[in-house]
């Protein structure tokens, strides 16, 4: 647990100080999230941490509170006048990476918890990123239909990241709403109880609050920062499910989700930074299993490079396809 805590809280502290002091602190935050992680992933042996005795709840709670404090602080700094333009660009880049990689991984962990309080805390982290619908779409749609065409967040072989992002965002918003409406109808609850009322209403409230407190600049800074964090989340989904499909049984129903239907990353520090979200096959096999206990199955597909680096490679579709398509074909015919 100390490694998870140090790895996830250190960049948040650097970003927080950088929002006030700018300069070298912002540079250090960027280095801690990019260069340092990449270098240590190469130096430290793969494997990471597995601790079946811990659920890591205290760190989950702390990271959610840090997120809810750090986000408005960064928006204020981006809209304020005490940082230079270059410092604001650096802060935007660092904060977007942190909210999209660490904040998302933590919220993802929380929405899978059975306790109502922790689940709602994760939901509000997503709402603060204007991405509240992911709370429903991820649990009710993605986990049910992963590795099939019915899942908007499963990327298809040959599909570029740039085509995937709008398709996944819009598709998951619609599919999540339909799943919640069907769930409410099944238990005879009124339509206004749909959590999408909270997701959309909360997002609008946060945007209005930013506008009231910081004017148009704060509103623009908030929306663009949230969008950047959302893109980081979608890039992770794109990489972790690219091209892997569940074949259909004779009756048309897909086979049960297996280890072979998610890409994993065994790299040490990036796994700690993202709370073992890189151990994706085990997560889909056991969605309620806490992140410290997730394992790397021997029969699961492994990414050739760390997840954050693979997401960067996905920005260049020809390079991505040259690297990944042969691996996809190998697993499809395994």
Residues 134 and 55 sit within 8 Å (Cβ to Cβ): no
Q: What integer pLDDT is reported at residue 191 of this predicted model?
A: 86
Cα distance between residue 256 and residue 122, in whole Å:
28
Residues 310 and 303 sit within 8 Å (Cβ to Cβ): yes
Residues 172 and 141 sit within 8 Å (Cβ to Cβ): yes
Ranges under pLDDT 70 in the chain: 1, 45, 47-50, 52-53, 334
Q: What value, to the nearest 5°, has the Cα angle with vertex 135 and ends 130 and 138?
A: 115
Sign for the CA dihedral angle at 102, 106, 111, 112 comes to: positive
Phi, psi of 239 (to 5 degrees): -70, -45
Phi, psi of 294 (to 5 degrees): -65, 145
Cα distance between residue 286 and residue 14, in whole Å:
34
Length of the chain: 334
Please name which of 33, 48, 36 lies closest in space to residue 266, comparing C-alpha atoms: 48
pLDDT in tens, 131-166: 999 999 999 999 999 999 999 999 999 999 999 999
Against a cut of 0.85, is the pTM above it? yes
Q: Across the chain, how many H-helices and E-strands are there?
A: 15, 0
- Kindly give, in sequence order, each residue whose CB lies less than 8 Å from that of residue 327, ignoring residues fewer than 6 positions away: 301, 304
What six digits make up the tokens of 93?
Answer: 């880049």
**Scanning the structure block, which residue is given the tokens 């997120």?**
67
Cα distance between residue 56 and residue 271, in whole Å:
15
Helices 2-21 and 85-98: crossing angle in degrees, nearest 10, is 160
Cα distance between residue 91 and residue 18, in whole Å:
7
- Domain containing 196 equals 2-244+251-332
**Scanning the structure block, which residue is given the tokens 């306790």?**
115
Number of domains composing the chain? 1
List residues bridging with 248 in a β-sheet.
Answer: 254
CB atoms inside a 10 Å sphere around CB 312: 16
């Amino acid at each position: 647990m100390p490694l998870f805590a140090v790895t996830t809280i250190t960049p948040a502290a650097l970003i927080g100080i950088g929002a006030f002091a700018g300069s070298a602190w912002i540079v250090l935050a960027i280095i801690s999230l990019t260069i340092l992680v990449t270098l240590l992933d190469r130096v430290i042996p793969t494997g990471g941490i597995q601790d079946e005795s811990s659920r890591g709840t205290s760190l989950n709670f702390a990271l959610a509170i840090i997120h809810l404090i750090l986000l408005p602080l960064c928006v204020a700094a981006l809209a304020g006048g005490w940082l230079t333009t270059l410092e604001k660009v650096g802060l935007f880049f660092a904060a977007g990476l942190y909210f999209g990689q660490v904040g998302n991984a933590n919220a993802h962990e929380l929405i899978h918890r059975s306790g109502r309080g922790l689940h709602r805390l994760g939901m509000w982290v997503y709402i603060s990123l204007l991405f509240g619908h992911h709370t429903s779409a991820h649990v009710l749609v993605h986990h049910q239909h992963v590795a099939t065409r019915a899942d908007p967040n499963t990327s298809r072989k040959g599909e570029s990241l740039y085509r995937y992002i709008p398709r996944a965002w819009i598709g998951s918003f619609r599919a999540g709403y339909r799943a919640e409406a069907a769930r409410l109808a099944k238990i005879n609850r009124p339509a206004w109880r749909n959590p999408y009322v909270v997701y959309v209403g909360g997002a609008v409230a946060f945007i209005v609050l930013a506008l009231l407190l910081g004017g148009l600049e704060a509103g623009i800074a908030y929306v663009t920062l949230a969008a950047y964090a959302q893109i980081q989340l979608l890039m992770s989904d794109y990489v972790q499910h690219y091209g892997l499909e569940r074949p259909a049984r004779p009756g048309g129903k897909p086979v049960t989700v297996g280890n072979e239907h998610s890409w994993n990353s065994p790299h040490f520090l990036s796994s700690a930074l993202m709370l073992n979200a890189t151990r994706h096959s085990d997560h889909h096999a056991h969605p309620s299993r806490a992140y410290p206990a997730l394992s790397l199955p021997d029969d699961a597909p492994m990414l050739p490079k760390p997840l954050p680096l693979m997401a960067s490679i996905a920005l260049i579709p020809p390079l991505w396809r040259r690297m990944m398509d042969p691996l996809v074909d190998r697993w499809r015919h395994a």
